Structures are given as C-alpha cells and as structure tokens.
Structure 1
Amino acid sequence: MKNLFFSTLLTLAIVPVFGQSNRVIRVEDSATHEPVIGATIRTPSAIKPVVGAVTDTKGIATMPTLPANVTTLTVSAVGYETESFPLTIGSDTLVFQLHSQDQSLDEVTVTSTRTNSRIEDLPIKVEVLGQEDMNEESAVVPGNVSSILGDISIIHVQRTSAVNGNQAIRMQGLDPKYTQILRDGLPLYEGFSGNLGVLQIPPLDLKQIEVVKGSVSTLYGGGAIGGMINIVSKSPTSETPEFTALLNHSNLKETNLNAYYSQRYGKIGLTLFSGYTYQKAVDVTGDGFTDSPGIKQFNFHPRFFWNPTDHTKLDIGYAFTSENREGGYLPALEGTTPTAYKNITDLQRHTVDFNASHNTSETNAVTFKGAFSTFHRQNTDYQKLSDGRQSSVYLEANDLVHFGKQQLIVGANLTVEAFRKNPDSTRLVDYTYNTIGTFVQDDWQVGGKVAVQAGLRFDHHNTFGNFLLPRLSVKIKPSDPWTVRLSVGTGYKTPNLFVNQTPGALNVSLIFPRLLPIDVATVKAERSVGTNIDVAYSKTFASGFSVQVDQAFYYTRVNSPVVSAFASLSSNLGAYTQLINAPYNLFSLGTDTYVRLEYKAYELYFGYNHTLARRDGPSSPDPSDNTYLPLAPQDKFSTTLAWENEHFRFGIESSYVGTQYLYNNQKVANYWFFAGAAEYHYNDHWRLVLNGENIFNIKQANYETVVTGSISQPSFRPIWAPLEGRIVNVALKYTL
C-alpha cells in the first residue's frame, strides 16, 4: 500500500499533454499472468513533458492523452524489472508483461545476434549454456570447454590427432570447418590460428556459451554453415570482490591451477583470469605411443571496463596463451629413443580486443568493436619443421535503432588474415586475405504471436570474390507454452589450407610438410543453403515441476566442397596434399530432440540427434554415389540426471555414438560413454568434486590397432572413438 501511495504521487506530478487518445493498459506477471498492482506506466524521460498512470487492483491503468511522437512506454513496479514496451498504433487495449526480479536472475541475454535480446524473444534458435553450467564445468573439467560442448547432442567433438590431443567440433554432421567459433562476438579463430587453442579455453572466467544452430553466415561472414558457437567472458557485476581459485588433478597426470578475480569500482570494473595446466604424456594402451599428450599451458586474460555515463560503455581485454604440446613415441619424448617419431608444438597467441557502445537516445545505440591478434606456432612432425605466424584483425561498426515494434541494425566489418612463413621444411607460401562486409538485419515483432528477423550481408574477399547472403527467420507463438521457429539462410566458405581437419580421402595427409599451396586460379569458394525448423514447448506448473521439449529439423546443402586430395608430386613422406573442389555436392539432413525436466532438487535431460550426411550422388560422376561423410555419427544420444541439496550434488551422464562410418562407407562399432560426478559444497565457499569420465574405459584400441608401421614412420588410423580411456579427477574450488 505504501508503494501504491508513492506511485500515485509520482503520477500526479506528471503533466498530461494532448495527442493520441486514451489507452487502457493491463500489466501482469509474465509467469503467473496475475495483475501487477501499483505499476507505474510512463512515457520515455527524453520526451517532455512526461505522461503516466498507475495500475489499480486489477492491474489496469488508463493513460491520459499521449504526445503524437510517443512510440514506447516504460513500466516499473516493485519486485519487477523495469521494461519498455512498444505502443501499438490503433490499439486501445494493451497487455504488458513484467518479469520478476527473481526471474531476471535466470534470464538469458544472447549477445551473438548483436541485438542483446532475451533468448525467448529471438526468431532464430539459440541454445545457451549459462552461468550455472560454467560454474559446474569449471570444477568437473576445468582444463577446457570441449567436454561441456560434447554434452549437446547436435555437437560431436572429433579428435583430429592420435598423439597430440587436438580436437574439433562438428555440427549437424558437417566437417569442423563449417562451424564458426567466436570469442565475445569476435571471429578470430580461423586459418593458421584456428586449429589449436579454441577448445582448450578454460571455463572458469566464462559467463555462457551460445550455440546457434544452422546457417547463420549473415551474422559474421563465411563459415557458419553448420552453426556458430560464441564463447562469452564474464563481466564485473558487483562492488563486492569476487575471487575463485581452483586446483585439479587427474589420473592422466593432468594438473590445473586456475584463478579468477572480478570487481566493480564505481564506474570502472576489472576481471582477471590466470590459469596453468601441466600434463605428462601418457601411453594408455601400451603400444608405445602417447594417447594423452604432454601439455604445458599458461593463460592470462585481464579485462578493463569503464562506464563514464549511463549511456556509454567501454571494455578492453587482453588474452595471452602459451602452450607446449608433445606427443608421439613415448621413449622418444623421454630421450631414450631420440630418432623415433615425435609431434611437438609450441605456440603463443596474443589478442587485444575492445567493445565501445554509446546510446545516442533511448532508441538508438552505436557500437564499435574489434580485435587484433598474433599467433606463432612451431610444429615438428616426422622430423620436419613447420614454422609460421598469423596476424588477424577484426573491426566492426554498427548502429542499432528501435522504432515501434522493430529493431534495425546496419553495419560494416573488416576481416584481415595474414600468414607469414618462417624458414622451415614446408612448401607453404605467404598470403593475406582481406574481407570487407556490410550487413543489415531487421527484427520485427509483427504482432503478439509472430516475429520476423530478416538479414542480408554482402562480402568482398580480395582473392575469392563477392558473396551475397540473404537470411530469413520467423518465430510463431500460437499459445503461451508453444514456440515455432523457421529459418533459411545461405553461406559460403573460402578455401584455406589450415581448416580442413578431416582428410578428404583415406590416407591423405594433412600434416604441414605435405601441404601444397592453394591454386587460387582453379579452387573456388564453397556455397551453401540451409533451413531449420524448431518446435518448442516450455511450461512451469504450480507444483514447481517444469518441462522443456524442443524438436528441430534441419537440412544443409554445400555445393562443390573443397576437399584434400593426393597430388601428383611426392616427397620422402609420400604424396603431397592439394585442395580441390570435389566433383560432388554434400548434404546434411537430420532431426534433433531435446527434453529437460526439473522438479525441486532433480533435473533430467535427454537429447537425441539423427543426421544423414553424405555426398549428393546425382552431382558426381557416379550417379549412384552415396558415400557417407566420414567420422560423422548418424546417431547420438545423450542423457543427464542430477540431484542437489544444500551441501551435495550428484550427477550421471551417458551418451551413445552409433552408425558412424570412415572412408568408403566402412562402418565402425557403436559405443556408449558414461560419466559421473559427486560434489560437496560448504558455506558457498568450498567445493570438492570427484569426477569420472568414460567410466567403463571405452577405447578405440579395444576394437582395432590405432598405430601401425615403424616407430620412426608410423601410420595412424582415423580417430572415431576415445583413445585415453577412463579419466578420474579431483578438484577443489574456493570462492570468496
């Protein structure tokens, strides 16, 4: 009653003016749809004089006559988030739904679509692994994010090397090169710098991971044909300091020591992450070769935030990664057999990034962001040295305008990728790729049940030409628990020697000493078209039980894919590898099912993905060609069951990988993967975690010999199952 009294006094002080006719407005709780009593409804403060009203016991208010230039109304109430709503022209009765402050703690804002919209408002389908997931993963698997990404059924984490542990991501059954990866909305992990270090990012200083499924190349340029993953860093949220330290050790002789600090100081803020990983090389199968590599890795990531006014924000970050990774014949790494096979990599990555935004008004925001990165890698493989550096630049300027029920964003970006070879034993050559792009995207809330997002991008690549990329997404909400999303988009992928992690044919080698430079006169960029349909049901019942069901269907077609093939030239390592446009097309067709149930302390998740990815026979010389894409499982099932109380949390996970083929339609065995974790937490400060991955010790060596040949010139089978077997780790985490 006291809040209602003060709200009424505020409304009496607001001056009415003449313009639009009176409006009847109902304000209700977004979850319960109960009326919100004493909510203040007013015009934006930038429009003078301010006009407003207060809701009665039925949540209804009658607005006085409004100025003609008013397009939005601001609604506030005690216990709810203050929000702005579009003012529908010609409608006399409006319903505004407020989100409670408790709900806002769990509300997810997606940054990769550039409009910073709530996930439920987006016409495009996005799956978000949020802060709670990152907090759990930082103690369960603290060294990298590959484990938590692999829990999503539509994502398959593929190991690309038998001895050095490198991994890549497949989405929708397509090769890893068709998945675009961003860090804080900046696409820098491409080319020579893209194969290493992405999945090795520790989760301790991450806020969330955004997974956009399907073709979204319109957003950030070529590459996002199968999907896009945006890794989002934390930002300071409180003037109370936050400090977290973590110590972890596993049976594979891996030790992680990570620390994170965050604090706001009035208008400025700081986050700081530092982490060190030390892992000894381990031969699990006893064949003499490392199944788990030796790793020495150091990460340092400070970010500085400054908000000089309520309308201006600036953050600047620096990221440094140094890593030494050793694999191969274990006695050679230990120095007892120096002439045997070794694969040794030393790399350093420096990145400076910034993001500056200014709200010129309540309906307009200008953003300028970018990053500068240098990457140096030396690799010794089969006694051959490859040594190169890559400099990368990404700059973007955009303007986001709100008018009525629409959000329009227009912008331009520049991407530079410059590779320079140091003296080594490869035939690689220097190159510089520049891409200038312009884009426009319109998000339109057509009505209460329909939203449309239309995008158009034009890119000019200095070597491979011009690309026009349209995209259209539609969200339909036929009733409150149901949401239907439809999306169709185009994409492209420029040829690049360093992104084809999967060989195009059996025995074709992708090691740097065997790569030939790209013949830009004959090799053309790949082009694609893809469509996604997603039907979702989400409801929370009065008992506290909640259910979320999501059923997706997708289709992607890639024309004239760039693949690796044997060249006519040869060296003492065998035939060289060249990139060519394949005489066939590719397509990926599949379904993805997601079910999450929550009740009190219990949480249950099911995910099933079925994908058919193969060559398109009628476009190849052999019309009967139906070769499946290698190393792309057609069936993947994942499930998680978790229980938590005041001091304990227990969880078990299982996944099934089935109907997987190698080259020439050679089918391999199906397998199950089980994991379990137990956690004890005390006073919100201490967490002790015992985690087991691959509990039943599934290994590819159980089915076939992975390494053949001599210890100095070994050959490796394609990797389609785990190599390192069972992993058990214990982690201690302290949070201040």
Structure 2
Amino acid sequence: MRLFFLLTFFTLFIAAAFGQTNRIIQVEDSTTHEPVIGATIRTPTSIKPVVGTITDGRGKATMPEFSATITTLTVSAVGYKTESFPIQLGADTLVFRLKAADESIDEVTVTATRTNSRIDDLPIKVEVLGQEDMDEESAVVPGNVSSILGDISIIHVQRTSAVNGNQAIRMQGLDPKYTQILRDGLPLYEGFSGNLGVLQIPPLDLKQIEVVKGSVSTLYGGGAIGGMINIVSKSPTSSTPEFTALLNRSNLKETNLNAYYSQRYGKTGLTLFSGYTNQQAVDVTGDGFTDSPAIKQFNFHPKFFWNPSDRTKLDIGYAFTTEHRAGGYLPALEGTMPNAYQNVTDLQRHTVDFNASHNTSARNSLTVKGAVSTFHRQNTDYQKLSDGRQSSVYLEANDLVRFGKHQFISGANLTVEAFRKNPDSTRLVDYTYNTVGAFVQDDWQVGETVAIQAGLRFDHHNTFGNFLLPRLSLKLKPSDPWTVRLSVGTGYKTPNLFVNQTPGASMVSLIFPRLLPIDVTTVKAERSVGTNIDVAYSRSFENGFSVQVDQAFYYTYVNSPVVSAFASMSSNLGAYTQLINAPYNLFSLGTDTYVRLEYKAYELYFGYNHTLARRDGASDNSYLPLAPQDKFSTTLAWENEHFRFGIESSYVGTQYLYANQKVANYWFFAAAAEYHYSDHWRLVLNGENLFNIKQANYETVVSGPITQPSFRPIWAPLEGRIVNLALKYTL
C-alpha cells in the first residue's frame, strides 16, 4: 500500500510539473541488460520541485515531457551506483544503464568453471554464498567456514574425531573423500595435507564460496564425485583503503582476533589477512574427556595484484598457517596425569600461489596458474608419534576462446603429491604421486532457450593408471522465470591413506599408528558415474517480493570403493588397518529442495534434502554410515537501519551407524542479533545449538580405561550450546 501511495504521489507531482505528453524510461543493468526493478528516477535537486518515479517489474517507468531547464535525470537503485544521465531530445524512450555499486554484485560470477560466467548462464548447477554471506559469517562464526556450509541442506558437516574437533564435508550422502575442496580454483587440500583443518579457514578475507553439486571431476581431476567446493579470496576493488578488525569470544573459551586490509594503488593492489585463535580445552559432558579441544592457531595471508595493462593481470599470494591442537583426557592436558590419553597435533602449512592471465584479443584469453605448498604435521595419539611432511605442486595452463555462440576452453595441468615420513611410531612409507591431465570444454549457447556444456578430461596417474572422463550438461529456459539443468558425468578417486575420514567398518581405526601402507598391486582406483537434474523458478514482483525455488534430483554410482578394513597383522593397539577395494559398490539417490523468499526487510529460506545412500553388494546392502537420509534447514532474517535478527533451525533424521544401527533424530536451533552503529561498528550476539543437543544425551561417547579409551562414532554435536559475542570494526 505504501508503494502504491508513493507511486501515486510521484505521478501527481509529475503531472503538475509538466502536464505534457509522457516519455518511457527503461532502466537496465549495464552488464547483463536485465531490467532493474524499483529504481528511483528523479529530476535534479537544484530545480524545484523535485519530482520522480519508480520502475515497475519490467524496469520501466513513465514521465511527462521535460521543460528546457531539465537536462539530466538522476537514477538510483539498491546495489547500483547513483548516476545522472543526459536527456536525449526527441527520444520517446530513454534507456539508462546502471553500473554495480561494488563487486558485491559480482557474487553471481563463478570462477571454478574457468570461464568466469554468470551463475545464471551456466549449464551446470552452482550455488554461491556471496560477499554478504561472508560478511555476516565473519562475525557470527569467525573461526571457520564450517557453520555456513552446514546451513546448505545438501551438505552435512561430519565431525570425524571425538577429541580433536576435526570436521569433514559430505555431499549427496557420500563419504567426505568424494567432495573436492579448492582454494581460489587450486586443489591444495589433498592427501596428508587435507586431513585436518580444511574447514578452519576464517571467512573474513573470503569473497564467496562456490558449491558445485554432483560429479564434476572433469574440471579438476579425481575427487569431485559428490561435488566440489571452491573457496574464493577477496581482491582489492578501490583506491580507498578497506580495513576490518574483529574480536570474538565464546562460552567455550574461544577467542578470535582477525584483521583484513585491502587497497588498490593504481595498477597494483594488496590484500592482507591475519588471524589468531586461542581456544582452551573444555569438557562439556563431565566425563573427563575434551569435547572442545585446545587450539592455538595463527593465519597470515597476503596477496599482491598487478595489472600492467587492461589485458594482463597477475596475482601472487602467500598463505601461512601454524596450529597447536590438543584433546583427550583433560587432566592429562593440564599435566596432572601425563600417562592418560592425549591427542596432540602440531602443524605448519606454507603455500605460494599465482594466477596470470592475458587477453590476446577480445575473444581469447590465456591463463597460467599454480601453487606450491609444504605441510608438516606431528601427531601424538595413544602415546604414539606420527611425523610426516607433504610437498604439493599444482600447475595449470588453459586457453579460453570465444567465437560465435561458443566459449571453448582447453588446457593441461600437473599435480604432484610427495609424502615423506620422519622417524616415528608408524609403518607408513614415502610415496610420490604424479598426475598429468588434459581437458577440453565447450560452452555452446545454442539459442535463447538452450545451452550445452560438453567436457572431456584425460588423466594419467603414475601409480593407478589412466582415466578418461566425459561430461555433458544441458540448460533449458522454457520461459523467463524457469530454468532446467541436466548433467551427467564420470569421475574417479585414487586410493589415499589420509582421506578416508569414515572407517569402512565398525571399530576399524584410522589413527596413523595403525595404518598399513597401500598395496598398489591389489588396490585399484574407484570410478563413478553421476547424473543431476535441476528445475529452478525465480521471479521478482513490483511490490518488492521475490521468490526463488529450486528442485534437484541426483544419482551417483561408485564402483569398487576403497575402504578401510582390519588387517591380519596386529599391534599393541589392536589390529592394523589396511585399504582394500570393497566387495560391494555404492550408490546415492536423492532430492534437494531450496526455497528463498524475500520481502522488503524480511528474508526466509527453506531447504530439505532426502538422500538414500547404500552399499550395493551380493551380501551387503546396508546404509552408508553417518549419512543422514533427511536434513531440513530454515532461516528467517529481518534487518533495518541499525539492527539485524536471524533464527535458524535444522533437523537431522534417519541416520545410521554400521550394520543399519539407527540413531536418534535431533533438531538444531540457532539465533543471532546484530547492532550496527553507522557504517563502522557492529556488535553481534550469536547462539548455536540453543537447546543444548549433545550425543552424550543419548549414549556414552567414551568408554574404557583413560590410557586407551574407545570412542563411539560421532553422529551428533558434542559441545552442546555455544554462545559468542563479536565486535567488528570496518574502516
């Protein structure tokens, strides 16, 4: 009603001021040429009275003929720069194109697919958590990105250790090893270096997170069988310095201090992130063992940008992480019972990455990118030391050519993973894996309603052989609000001791002192095929209401999965663990529903995922352990000039352990309140797991002697309620 009266008010003013024939004004996005709904058009403030109008659902508005004293009109809209446009004499229709106010609008540009295409143009389904999401998460859960990823219904964040707090990601119900994680389009978290702390990346210096659903191993090689997650860093956007500092404290004795700086200096630019986390060990349940580990972590991430010309771009980054993490029997960590169980990890990660691109013409772009990384970790578990170092290299060159309705990209890449064992208590051995790959991909916009993406990759692994990976995706747009995407692709995963975060059978241990080296003569790589169907509806209305609905269906089949099993050999900790090809296959079949509603200051999200993930064998058809079949998520948020409130809830149900042992269903509730004063200060109070749901409420998690305890599989939260208060300052 208020919008109706406002439109009437503007119309009466226009009629009174001009009283002449009408002109049609069209307001569009300067990049996409899509109509801008709700844009305000007004006459200059220097000429009284000031009159104006607002664009409708088609981005159009009507204004009477102008007097000779009015030569420009000012146009403004949320998310766009306010600009003044000259009035073209004699033109019945005026077209004004607005530019994005800043790069936050570019969150719909996807980088993981190498073509830097808009998310709406891609034939494959990608979900993007953008700059606004990262800004909110940096104050709500500043220490890591696991919380925001867990809000997506198709993703389940699985805790893999009862005492050290390690987490992993499941997509489409499959084990965590089938989800590939990239940082700025680089696969840096494979093998020994990817087992711990991937999700401990702070969100403050992130621009967006891209979630590609389904089999996309064609893009970056083996691993992306269930999906791929690309974590994208910020880049400098303005010559005005940007500085953000954040201080956070939680009831679990966690303190976070993070700072981010960004600025452009002509043709160069710099971003700099530094973060420190200090968390004390906490026993929430009173059983003597840590439910929240002690963590001391420091991150340092500078990145330098250079644009010598409009055609050439270069960025070079360095990332350093050091961490001390300790869990186990709390008196042992405090030094009063040194012989009791402890799990202590010290790690350091150094990474240098680069990305260079050159546009040889308006239709051709060459890109060379890569990373060199070293990772050193010492772990003491059950008083046994494991000590190893991994060196990783990733290099890629690709050529993107645009011609007609095609975007054709071809390239090659090299991946090196070299593990070296230091003297310790394990039976691990040194290894070096090399993978050389070549890929081609064609994005073909057949017509206004049809687009096709076809890809083919060939990989040669020095130990596990050759892999040919075709993939085909189709996008249909039968009408403006509807989009249909269909995709089918193949994938593979090579055996690796350090990526099997879920034991293959009950009581099989994955601690390093029990692992045996892989027998490469008998263990072969896994291969998969998967298909996805996605139907989306998106529409905005003149009254400010918008709706987005997305319904997905998926199916994945994995042949001869590599699992951990008991070996015939024994140690003083029990039987050793070896990797084998299981005598069964795996499949995952499911649906994923996403609904997002926005109206003025309100935002409502629903997500429901139903997945049936099972073993497919002659004698074993059990459900995959620790893979919930039902997950429901919802978020309601409201915001005004100074306040923002949000509540979240999620339901995890129909979850099984080993041998189809069903566990309890549970609800998870969270709430956050934010007060922002001017554009500089924000105070955030956040509560996670408000009703204090813990696995210890349903069963005993730890049993056995305090020197060699046994831990139940983790299927529910351990820490219970978490409340944190964060203060954020932005310059």
Aligned counterparts of 1:664 and 1:717: Cα–Cα separation in 2:
14
* CA 1:219–1:601: 2 relative to 1, 3 Å: same
**Quick one: which amino acid aligns to residue 80 of structure 1?**
L
Alignment of 1:117-266 (within 5 A): 117-266=117-266
Alignment of 1:433 with 2:428, yes or no, is no
The aligned counterpart of 1:398 is 398
Aligned counterparts of 2:589 and 2:60: Cα–Cα separation in 1:
46
Deviation at 1:34, TM superposition (A): 5.2
Alignment of 1:643 with 2:672, yes or no, is no
Deviation at 1:33, TM superposition (A): 4.4
Query: TM-score under structure 1 normalisation?
Result: 0.88
* CA 1:107–1:324: 2 relative to 1, 3 Å: closer
Which of 681, 693, 710 is residue 705 of structure 2 equivalent to?
A: 710
Contact map agreement 2:237 2:263 (CA 8 A) in 1: yes
Alignment of 1:595 with 2:595, yes or no, is yes
Contact map agreement 2:165 2:292 (CA 8 A) in 1: yes
Which of 94, 97, 106 is residue 79 of structure 1 equivalent to?
A: 97
The aligned counterpart of 2:279 is 279
The aligned counterpart of 2:353 is 353
| Per-residue deviation, residues 594-636 of structure 1 (Å, max 9, x unmatched) | 000000000000000000000113xx3x2xx320000000000
Aligned counterparts of 2:206 and 2:386: Cα–Cα separation in 1:
33
**Quick one: which amino acid aligns to residue 576 of structure 2?**
Y
**Quick one: which amino acid aligns to residue 290 of structure 2?**
T
Q: In structure 2, list runs of 5 or more residues that go unmatched.
A: 1-31, 38-56, 63-71, 73-87
**Quick one: which amino acid aligns to residue 647 of structure 1?**
H
Aligned counterparts of 1:171 and 1:384: Cα–Cα separation in 2:
33
The aligned counterpart of 2:659 is 664
| Per-residue deviation, residues 394-449 of structure 1 (Å, max 9, x unmatched) | 00000000001110000000000000000000000000000000000000000000
Which of 665, 671, 678 is residue 673 of structure 2 equivalent to?
A: 678
The aligned counterpart of 1:479 is 479
Contact map agreement 1:35 1:58 (CA 8 A) in 2: no
Alignment of 1:365-444 (within 5 A): 365-444=365-444
Contact map agreement 2:104 2:130 (CA 8 A) in 1: no
Aligned counterparts of 2:278 and 2:710: Cα–Cα separation in 1:
28
Aligned counterparts of 1:304 and 1:708: Cα–Cα separation in 2:
51
Contact map agreement 2:267 2:307 (CA 8 A) in 1: yes
Contact map agreement 1:27 1:36 (CA 8 A) in 2: no
Contact map agreement 2:107 2:128 (CA 8 A) in 1: no
Aligned counterparts of 2:384 and 2:339: Cα–Cα separation in 1:
12
Aligned counterparts of 1:78 and 1:539: Cα–Cα separation in 2:
22
Aligned counterparts of 1:187 and 1:605: Cα–Cα separation in 2:
31
**Quick one: which amino acid aligns to residue 319 of structure 1?**
A
The aligned counterpart of 1:42 is none
Report SS of the residue matched to 1:79. Answer: strand
Aligned counterparts of 1:300 and 1:651: Cα–Cα separation in 2:
31
Alignment of 1:35-50 (within 5 A): none
Aligned counterparts of 1:660 and 1:27: Cα–Cα separation in 2:
47
Contact map agreement 2:167 2:197 (CA 8 A) in 1: no
RMSD: 1.8
| Per-residue deviation, residues 517-537 of structure 1 (Å, max 9, x unmatched) | 000000000000000000000
Contact map agreement 2:647 2:672 (CA 8 A) in 1: yes
Deviation at 1:105, TM superposition (A): 2.6
The aligned counterpart of 1:513 is 513
Deviation at 1:684, TM superposition (A): 1.0
Deviation at 1:484, TM superposition (A): 0.3
| Per-residue deviation, residues 73-93 of structure 1 (Å, max 9, x unmatched) | xxxx75335xxxxxxxxxxxx
Aligned counterparts of 1:339 and 1:612: Cα–Cα separation in 2:
44
Aligned counterparts of 1:456 and 1:205: Cα–Cα separation in 2:
34
Which of 31, 35, 43 is residue 29 of structure 1 equivalent to?
A: 35
Aligned counterparts of 2:119 and 2:390: Cα–Cα separation in 1:
35
Contact map agreement 1:206 1:233 (CA 8 A) in 2: yes
* CA 1:500–1:683: 2 relative to 1, 3 Å: same
| Per-residue deviation, residues 140-183 of structure 1 (Å, max 9, x unmatched) | 00000000000000000000000000000000000000000000
The aligned counterpart of 2:580 is 580
* CA 1:332–1:312: 2 relative to 1, 3 Å: same
* CA 1:367–1:167: 2 relative to 1, 3 Å: same
Deviation at 1:196, TM superposition (A): 1.2
Deviation at 1:497, TM superposition (A): 0.2
Aligned counterparts of 2:665 and 2:627: Cα–Cα separation in 1:
12
The aligned counterpart of 2:21 is none
Aligned counterparts of 1:79 and 1:389: Cα–Cα separation in 2:
54
Report SS of the residue matched to 2:97. Answer: coil
Deviation at 1:227, TM superposition (A): 0.2
Deviation at 1:507, TM superposition (A): 0.3
Identity of aligned residues (%): 87
Report SS of the residue matched to 1:136. Answer: helix
Contact map agreement 1:35 1:59 (CA 8 A) in 2: no
The aligned counterpart of 1:85 is none
Aligned counterparts of 2:521 and 2:306: Cα–Cα separation in 1:
48
| Per-residue deviation, residues 531-581 of structure 1 (Å, max 9, x unmatched) | 000000000000010000000000000000000000000000000000000
**Quick one: which amino acid aligns to residue 303 of structure 2?**
R
Aligned counterparts of 1:35 and 1:490: Cα–Cα separation in 2:
46
Report SS of the residue matched to 2:517. Answer: coil
Aligned counterparts of 1:304 and 1:499: Cα–Cα separation in 2:
32
Deviation at 1:56, TM superposition (A): 8.7
Aligned counterparts of 1:154 and 1:213: Cα–Cα separation in 2:
9
How many pairs align?
A: 657
Alignment of 1:443-462 (within 5 A): 443-462=443-462
Aligned counterparts of 1:616 and 1:483: Cα–Cα separation in 2:
34
The aligned counterpart of 1:288 is 288
| Per-residue deviation, residues 186-212 of structure 1 (Å, max 9, x unmatched) | 001000000112100000000000000
Contact map agreement 1:79 1:101 (CA 8 A) in 2: no
| Per-residue deviation, residues 69-126 of structure 1 (Å, max 9, x unmatched) | xxxxxxxx75335xxxxxxxxxxxxxxxxxx769983651000000000000100000
**Quick one: which amino acid aligns to residue 660 of structure 1?**
Q
Deviation at 1:670, TM superposition (A): 0.2
* CA 1:36–1:265: 2 relative to 1, 3 Å: farther
Query: TM-score under structure 2 normalisation?
Result: 0.88
Aligned counterparts of 1:104 and 1:393: Cα–Cα separation in 2:
32
Aligned counterparts of 1:504 and 1:56: Cα–Cα separation in 2:
75
The aligned counterpart of 1:631 is 626
**Quick one: which amino acid aligns to residue 678 of structure 1?**
A
The aligned counterpart of 1:71 is none
Structure 1 runs, 4 residues or longer, greater than 6 Å off: 35-38, 100-104
Deviation at 1:718, TM superposition (A): 0.2
Aligned counterparts of 2:318 and 2:59: Cα–Cα separation in 1:
47
| Per-residue deviation, residues 195-247 of structure 1 (Å, max 9, x unmatched) | 11210000000000000000000000000000000000000000000000000
Q: In structure 1, list runs of 5 or more residues that go unmatched.
A: 1-25, 39-53, 61-76, 82-99
The aligned counterpart of 2:569 is 569
Aligned counterparts of 1:151 and 1:56: Cα–Cα separation in 2:
53
The aligned counterpart of 1:652 is 647
Aligned counterparts of 2:396 and 2:36: Cα–Cα separation in 1:
36
Contact map agreement 2:290 2:329 (CA 8 A) in 1: yes
